[in-house]
A and B are shown apart, each in its own frame.
Chain A
Amino acid sequence: MSGPLVERVRVALAASRAADGGFGPVPGAPSEPEASAMAALALDDDGARAWLRRAQAADGGFLLGLDDAATAMAALALGNGSAVDRALDYLLAHRAEVLASDPHPNAVWGWAPHTYGWVDPTARAVLALRRLRPSATSAIEDGLVVLSDRECAGGGWNYGNASVLDQALVPYVHPSAMAMIALHGRTEAIAARGRAWLDAHWSDELGGLSLACTLVARRLLGDPVDKVIDALDARFEASGLLGDTVTLAWATIGLGDGIDDVRVTP
């Protein structure tokens, strides 16, 4: 893979390491679950994994205030063991609200308990379950049903509203890439449509997180990535990806070996 860029991004990511071994959302910030999980995956970092084990709540979740959406990525980062089992149990037990009027009764995942389900946290949970507990077929199917429901007209996803007050909303690259990271290797039509949409539109949104997640998605899908890497390189030079740990981690995963820790093998 691209030596110079991956090294520059790794160095930038490492700047977010806190004294306690975890990683904060930006350099100089205290450690947080999502940042630590993403850095652990990207850098194969035992210090971050140790921090995660200490930070895990008694019920298995990984929370920042009300937000528990880091739980899926923490499970992926830890890889195996009782902490992973507890995190996956937490995912299965803590789903988003389903409204009586929803077209499907499938419960997915939101940003916090007792709120609505959205694309990004659902994609993370589906990925974690597919890779670490593929026997959770019912929960995985719930995710697939709702991701299908939330697909925008013409393909792709935004944060999770295909329309508001009967007006269609536009898809965004970042959540579309997250959905494809979750769906890579699946054969359903929704996966094929999402792949085609991402292929056609990734270059419309040349922001750091969008490019980093597109890179990961396309590597998992086996699609060409050279132009994505070039665009990511240019954006890194322009903005440093805003020093955002999560973005830098996804970029590092996309550029390096960490991709194998988010890959679902058939």
Chain B
Amino acid sequence: MSRRTFLVRAGEVGAGAGALMLAGMSRNRRTYNPWDPSYYAPPKHANVAVAKSANYDGDLESLVREGLTTIGADVKGKRVLLKPNMVEYDAGTVINTDPRLVAATVLAVRRLGALDVTVGDGPGHRRDTDFVLAASGLESALAATDAKFVDLNTAPVRLVGLHTAYTNLGVLWLPEPVVSADVIISMPKLKTHHWAGVTLSLKNLFGCVPGRVYGWPKNVLHWAGLNEAIIDVAAAVRPHYAIVDGIVGMEGNGPIQGTAKASGVLVFGDDPVATDTVAARIMGFNPERIGYLAEAARFLGEGHWDRIDHRGEDPERVASDFAVLPQFQSLRLT
């Protein structure tokens, strides 16, 4: 009972109610725009490409390289950080970005001329990153590519001032590999989320803040307001590109206890807000009803469907409704 009440309270900052809470926070602060307009230029034209892949066994490297090329990704001569979703590990389910996709992306990014490619994450539930790395298969997948992994929970940190004020945090301790990367590619799994509605390339960035400052789970962020923290973190990290692993996603009680959903897609974007907008619609959700996403679309990226340059597969043709918890039925497109 106690945990349920706490989590219902925390869940009140998720989807539906989250949008209302965000608007209420703006009014309460008498700050309609809780971001520094001089720091965030209006969203540019966004490119999002959808590719089909039935499984992880084909030529993923070529598929990823083509997807990144289609969206105009520029990694030549750059130090690139790939940030997959490795929140925890359970052998019986599909929580994490598939290691085969991560490895393929390492190879693809190198082929596109990157100076250096590192893979990093700070798992949010388990402090034993060594276990998650090995058990998930990412360790062996990366060994085959000779790519370096960095635990963002233990990497040296730098204090970074925020240019947004959705939470009262004011600053974030961010790992040096995140702050110093030339290019960050957010690589989430296509999943529902039992508090936020969906978890995609923006929510994935919670793995960029270290557990030794924010806890396991990263409870400091939850107490600051989940939806609000998603925006502040995303606005601070500002990934350049996103690759959403929807070959097999998760529906229902995500992001940990849901069930596998074979969507058969990868979603590439040069604008994480636009990428999440497209990905949400592929899941059968209205992105305007996802609180943090709608708010991020005000300043952090492009959320207007008609202003996104859609490449590759038609999102509406590959869409497949994701099962969702009852409290998130209002997110549905239809």
Contacts and interface: CB of A to CB of B under 8 A. Distances in A.
A21 interface: no
Given A99-B5, A244-B154, A209 B128 contact: yes
Contacts of A28: 156
Contact of B6 (A99, A118, A162, A170): A99
B140 to A, nearest CB: 10
Nearest to B224: A115
A199 to B, nearest CB: 18
B54 interface: no
Interface in A223-256: 235, 238-239, 241-247
B129 interface: yes
B125 A118 contact: no
Contact of A207 (B6, B130, B156): B130
A179 to B, nearest CB: 13
A209 B220 contact: no
Given A67-B215, A165-B4, A29 B130 contact: no
A193 B159 CA distance: 42
B131 interface: yes
Interface string B216-241: 11011011000000000000000000
Given A101-B1, A205-B128, A239 B216 contact: no
Given A28-B156, A162-B3, A170-B90, A111 B128 contact: no
Which of A64, A172, A243, A245 has the most CB atoms of chain B within a 10 A radius of its CB?
Answer: A172
Interface residues of A, number: 58
B333 interface: no
Interface in A15-39: 24-26, 28-30, 32, 34
B21 interface: no
A101 B90 contact: no
Nearest to A24: B156
A197 interface: no
A235 B125 CA distance: 21
Given A26-B155, A65-B173, A165-B194, A120 B6 contact: no
A66 B126 contact: no
Given A174-B127, A247-B130, A64 B155 contact: no
A164 B194 contact: yes
A111 B216 contact: yes
Interface string B20-31: 000000000000
B115 interface: no
A239 B133 contact: yes
Interface string B229-258: 000000000000000000000000100110
B334 interface: no
A161 B3 contact: yes
A167 interface: yes
23 contacts: A26-B151, A26-B156, A28-B156, A67-B214, A67-B220, A101-B1, A110-B215, A110-B219, A112-B219, A115-B222, A120-B216, A149-B2, A163-B3, A164-B194, A165-B325, A207-B132, A207-B133, A235-B130, A238-B134, A239-B133, A239-B134, A243-B154, A247-B128
